[in-house]
Amino acid sequence: MGTVFIGLRGDRAETDLANDADVEILLQMTLAQAYRPGKIGLSFELFPPKTEKGMAALFRHAGRLAEFQPNYITCTYGAGGSTQNRTLDVISGILEKYNLPVATHLTCVGRTPEELRDYLSRAIGLGIQNVVALRGDPPQGETEFRPVEGGFSYADELVAFIRAEFADMGIAVGGYPETHQEAPSPEVDIENLKRKVDAGADVIITQLFYNNGDFFDFCERCQKAGINVPIVPGLLPVTNGAQVQRIASLCGAKLPAKFLADLQKHEDDAAGQFEVGVEFATQQTADLLEAGVAGIHYYVLNKSEAAERVLNAVSLPR
């Protein structure tokens, strides 16, 4: 396939390779095709902003991220209808502006199979070929997940539904190097992950983590369980120490003591914390690449600066 060059405004370079046929092939690629021997699959995750100002900022940052020619960009999905529409606005906009494959997140929260079918049909109508299938967190104010009447209780049920009704879509699922907080044990967590893969998932994208040893141990346990799809580490470069501690506490991720101490040295210095976070993420990325991971997925929080710095400092086989 010819190379497609992405510019800051989504302009394609005028070469004999970057023609409309090449772009069409690129946009039809599924998640399973993003990870190939000798190549590193690169992806970024966005979330739907609540305001038009936030949406404009998102597309400015997405344009900068597009310069790295990611294999795809994802956008999260909330339980409310307006948030879901925003998700489609974000990813269809990325698709249109930057000629990049995209993936919509999708959860079981508050939706019947009929409503999920309608959402996926709309997504496909917009040219979206991929989905990140998750159970989803309980709605705000609730501590326990409860499906709607007739809805799905587990992510593997959602994966099986998508695979049966939208067979050509690429499907990613979530993995938890430090074990899902609701799982009674790491062994049960891997069994649940195996069910999602057996239901039809093409790739696993992990929750954020800050100890690469946890990721390598997780991969080893997956391999022993017979999970053979690509496992992609999810990284959140730290730009704000207090913010990342809140996020990490929500998903059960641990921050190394030295990393925390380095951040705390710059407690009242935002620029200093940013530099510490970028340095840590750069080293974390470099170590993962050296170990031969299938790809890297960055949680960028709708910003581009930290990911840019990291990617400019490492060498990805693209």
Burial state string for 285-298 with b = 16 or more CB within 10 A and e = fewer than 16: beebbeeebbbbbb
Residue 69 carries which side chain, given as an amino acid letter?
A: Q
Residue 295 CA to residue 15 CA, distance in Å, equals 27
Residue 79 CA to residue 109 CA, distance in Å, equals 6
Catalytic residue among 24, 45, 114, 275: 45
What's the CA angle centered on 310, arms 308 and 313, to 5 degrees? 105
Residue 214 CA to residue 279 CA, distance in Å, equals 20
Residue 173 CA to residue 66 CA, distance in Å, equals 23
Q: Is 45 a catalytic residue?
A: yes
What is the set of active-site residues? Answer: 45
